[in-house]
Amino acid sequence: MERIRVGLIGCGGISRSHSRGYLQLPDLFEIIACCDERKELAEERAKQLGAKVVVTDYREIIARDDIDAVDICLPHHLHAEVAIAAAEAGKHVLVEKPIANTLDEADAMVEAARKSGVVLMVAHNERYMPVYQKAKELVEQGVLGRIFLARADHNQFVPIGERHWLWRKATAGGGVLIGSGIHRVDILRWLVGEIVRVWHQQVIVPERFSDEVEAASVTIFEFANGAIGELTCNWSAYAASSAPWFEFLWLYGTEGSLHNVGGLFVASEKVTEWQGKFVQIPIPEEDSFVNEIRHFGECILEGKTPLTSGEEGRKSLAVVTAAYKAAETGEGILVQM
């Protein structure tokens, strides 16, 4: 089998995690080129991945005949421009979350990939984490019964200054909800079902983060199946590194419950050993980024639709954009699926 030839576009922070996947899948991928406007970052990643080509303009990557796919690890506002150009050039696309800053951009990306017949996959990495894959398995087995309440949060301190693109609404599209909370939105959609209405409040904390975008937020969800949920997100959590958890999930059902505090724990009336008490469920030790990158390759080679397809990324973005509108209006907002 010939390896999939990849151009990595954007060689900053998250590209380091993507690189772990490529390094552990040498029979599936070959990194041909690395691109970043900061040439030293592209050179660093190229050295790590064995790429022989280093450029500072993504157009040089897309124009190459020896590249089959691109991995886009750029600021949010650049996702659509680069992904559409790559798809139109016949390249398969893996793009970091969020898929884009707006639904119009996301729709254009999905349409470009459809027209060219290429794979468009969004790096909603949490669906590839063993803990959530096991949670999904338990939900589908029905051990929780009907889920009626879901709770999640994101607890982190992000120390950035005003020069960083995450600080600005024009480049990031928002703050903690679109930047990290969208991961939790995506997991709740995957585990519980589609979200049809949202209520949202947020706070800007210029002393700790930015005077343009929210540092913390609380979102309430109404699911299509009648369940409700809440998500608390914080990028300015004091002493977050020593907090009891980084990300929290709790699902409540008519027959049982599960949470991920200190592992994955489930209690259920459906299983004798789990009745009336929480029991820890073994989780395999796997790197979610290796799982994610492998899935991208399998979708290309086998013609499969990605678990986190462009359409799925668009749906999670639709929840976030509805939440931002809810913050502006003070009302519950229907999600535009």
Q: Which two tokens stand for residue 122?
A: 């969004």
Residue 212 has pLDDT above 70, yes or no: yes
Whether residue 106 is predicted with pLDDT greater than 70 in this model: the reply is yes
> What pLDDT score does 95 carry?
98
Nearest to 335 by CA among 194, 138, 141: 194
242 vs 97, residue with greater confidence: 97
Tell me: pLDDT of 265 over 70. yes
CB atoms within 10 A of CB 242: 6
Query: Residues 291-316: pLDDT tens digits?
Result: 999 999 999 999 999 999 999 999 99
Report pLDDT digits (tens) over 13-41. 999 999 999 999 999 999 999 999 999 99
Write down the pLDDT at residue 1: 60
Alpha helices in the chain (DSSP H): 13-23, 39-49, 58-62, 79-88, 103-116, 130-141, 169-172, 176, 182-191, 288-302, 310-329
User: In angstroms, how far is CA 222 from the centroid of its own chain?
Assistant: 21
The pLDDT of residue 161: 74
Dump pLDDT digits (tens) for 135-166: 999 999 999 999 999 999 999 999 887 779 99
Average pLDDT, the chain: 97
pLDDT of residue 289: 98
Mean pLDDT of the region 258-278: 97
| Mean pLDDT of the region 82-94 | 98
Distance of CA 76 to the CA centre of its chain: 12
- What pLDDT does residue 159 have? 86
pTM: 0.97
DSSP state of 281: P
For residue 202, name the pLDDT band (cuts at 50, 70, 90).
Answer: very high
pLDDT band at 241 (very low <50, low <70, confident <90, very high): confident
The predicted structure's pLDDT at residue 320: 98
